[in-house]
Structures are given as structure tokens and as C-alpha cells.
Amino acid sequence: MISEKQFNKEINLIISNAIREDVGHGDHSSLACIPEDATGKAKLLVKEDGIIAGIDFARQVFEFVDTGLKLDVKIKDGSPVKKGDVCFYVSGLSQSILKSERLVLNAMQRMSAIATKTNEYVKLLEGTKTQILDTRKTTPGIRALEKWAVKIGGGENHRFALYDMIMLKDNHIDFCGGITKAIQKTQAYLKQNSLDLKIIVEARDLNEIEEILQNKGVYRILIDNFNYEDTKKAVQMIGDACLTESSGGITLDTAKKYAECGVDYISSGALTHSVYNMDLSLKAV
């Protein structure tokens, strides 16, 4: 994953762009009927059971919009919540609260859904050594939020983007002319450009596993779309040579069986691309 500094930069970009998109040159609904100096208070109300995520993000949004807004947090990120719970109260200028409302809700509803789903996988994999990973199958423009939510839910982050890790997938291998050639060219490229990036290589069958193992310097092998038996064989073949990751349509129904094959990680795009927003609302008190 990227550095904390770069991650925070991504979050700041998301906030500034979202406020630009939503507020533009003014929240005329609020400007028209609420006095500029009017103050108020609102609560973040949970309307559906799950894992709450985005409290700290909401804090950053409120601070970006108006440093005078005060947040009183009652429930922290990563906590299980039930319908009727109040996660926080925000108080200050009413116009500022309303200007922040939609971004806070949109982000928290999405993040909480992702954290909730991730936590289901985490609980399912308890008792195994396997950890759940996200992917790059995220909503364009808000990847940092969605990967943050995975962490809040107890999962782990895969690479953030194309620039922070090498991942040689089937198309890279085929375009390059084979596994060994792709690995060797990649290692030469990294050395030539003084880059310290980990290398993951995707395997489509056991023969490709064997060829990858003939090359040193591979950080993790992606065991892609294997059945259970071949996954077990692949794990045995790989041993301690490098880390292992299962992927390819793995769901809550199949994740535990893949974990029992002995893989270090399972990656699932479904953590971020197949969730329904958790129901939350920001209500005036």
C-alpha cells in the first residue's frame, strides 16, 4: 500500500473535489432560508445493523467545510451498530452542517457497507491463517475511502494502484511472451529504474506455478480460478518459497474452503464492487 502521507493526500483530494462538485458556487437552498449566523445541532442516526465506518472521514469533512463545527463522537469506526444508534452529534453553523451533510452520508453509507461485508469474511476465516484482501475493483475517484473501509472492517489492503506494486497477470504474461520472460524483464526494469516494488505473478494452472517457482524474487503467487484440490496442490508446491493468494469469484459460500487449502490470502473484488449502501441519516436535533 501507499504511504500514510500519500493516503492522506488522496483523502484530501476526495473531500475537496466532492465539495466542489456538490456545493459549487453556493448551497442556495440553505442560503435562501437559513440566517448566516444561525447555529444548530444534528445527529448521525443508524437505520440498519452493521459495522460503522467513516466517522473519522466525517470529522475531516466537517473540518474542511468549517473549522468551527464541533463533533461529539459516541461510537467509533469499526464498531458494530444497530438500528437506532447515534454515532455522533455535530454542532455549529447550520449552513455548514447542511453543506457537509451529503458528502458525509454518501461516504459513510458506502464505507459502512464495505466494512460490514469485509467483517463477514473476517469472521468466516477465523481459525485459519488466511486474511481477506481487497482489489482495484473500486469506484473511480474514491478508492482511498473504499480501501479505508476494508481496513476498518478487519480486512487487509492489496496494492493501492498500478504504481505501488508489480502484478503480472495473464495479459501481461501473454503480451510479453511467457512467465519467465515477464519476470526477468520486470526485475531488470525495477533495477534499471531503482524501484523497490514487490512482484506478484498470476498462475492459471499447476504448470505455471512450477515455472514461477523456477524464478527467484517473486513475493506472492496469485492462484487464480483454481478448484479446491488444485489449490491445495499449489500451496504444497509453493511451500515457503513465497506467499500465496487465491482469487477468482470467491464468495462467502466458498471462502472458508479456499482458506482451508492453506493460502495466506484471499482477494475479493466483491468487498467493494458488490455492496449496497448502509442506511444512515443526519437529522437535526
User: Look-up: residue for cell 520486470?
Assistant: 186
Q: Which of 10, 202, 208, 245 is catalytic?
A: 202
Which residue has cell 449502501?
277
Q: Cα separation of 118 and 28, whole Å?
A: 39
Which candidate in 169, 185, 232, 233 is catalytic? 169
Please state, in angstroms and rounded to a whole number, the distance separating the CA atoms of residues 114 and 149: 6
Q: Which of 137, 185, 233, 256 is catalytic?
A: 137
Side-chain half-sphere exposure of 1, counting CA atoms within 13 A: 19
CA neighbor of 148 nearest in space, from 9, 11, 6: 11
- Residue 119's H or E segment, with its range, is helix 94-124
Which of 137, 207, 138, 133 minimizes the C-alpha distance to 173? 207
Looking at residue 277, what DSSP letter applies?
-
- Answer for the pair 157, 6: CB distance below 8 angstroms, yes or no: no
Catalytic residue, from 134, 224, 245, 264: name it: 224
In the annotation, is 210 catalytic? no
Show the cell assigned to 166: 508489480
Does residue 169 carry a catalytic annotation?
A: yes
User: Is 102 labeled as catalytic in the residue annotation?
Assistant: yes
Least Cα distance to 57 among 22, 10, 117 occurs for 10
Name the CA dihedral angle for 100, 101, 103, 106, rounded to a multiple of 10 degrees: 170
Residue given cell 488444485 in the structure block: 230
φ, ψ of residue 268 to 5 degrees: the values are -140, 120
Is 279 marked active-site?
no
Nine-digit cell string for 263: 493460502
Q: Which three cell numbers stand for residue 33?
A: 432560508
Torsion of CA 78, 91, 27, 86, to 10 degrees: 40
Looking at the annotation, which residues are catalytic?
102, 137, 169, 202, 224
